[in-house]
Amino acid sequence: MPIWANLAFLQAQRGYSMFKRKDQWFLGKGRQTEVRQSLKELGWVTLIACIVILICGMIMFSCSSKDSVWADEVIYTNEQIADAIYQAEGGSKTRHPYGILAKYKHTTPRQACLNTISHAKKDWNGKGDFLEFLQKRYAPLNAKNDPTGLNKNWLKNVQWWLKHG
């Protein structure tokens, strides 16, 4: 019996068909049949559970943006953190707004602060408190440019301004 006769028998008896993929012919069940069979095997309860898990994952992913961080169950944006740093560093009464000591030709102290926050978020691994991580860069303890040790107050001051500012 020729091979084509066997193929015709399989098509008629078991729902198989010939299909072409990248210049090769294959014998198999159609895509719709595979999906229907998979749904029967999977079960509706499992399917619904998978959809719910997928939706929850999408929600969690969208809430974990690097543009904002959790602190005390509140999400703070880069701008809110920069505003708190501005106040903690002396606000309009200081010679160094945002605590930026260097003078830049092409950026403002606020933009330098925002750049520092943004870069720190990229380097932060998501574990621990982001503001504690940021303090190590922004106002490190025992720094040479902090002879009186005022940097030890930086974290609690920024946290206070985030809550009350």
Average pLDDT per consecutive 10 residues, the chain (165 residues; last block may be shorter): 50 53 54 57 69 74 52 76 91 86 85 91 86 88 83 90 87
Task: For residues 133 and 122, give the distance between their C-alpha atoms in angstroms, rounded to a whole number.
Answer: 12
> Does residue 84 contact residue 69 with C-beta atoms inside 8 Å?
no
10 Å Cβ neighbour count for 53?
Answer: 10
Q: What is the pLDDT of residue 114?
A: 93
Q: What is the pLDDT of residue 158?
A: 92
pTM over 0.75: no
> Does residue 16 contact residue 28 with C-beta atoms inside 8 Å?
yes
Domain map (residue ranges) of the chain: 3-63, 68-164
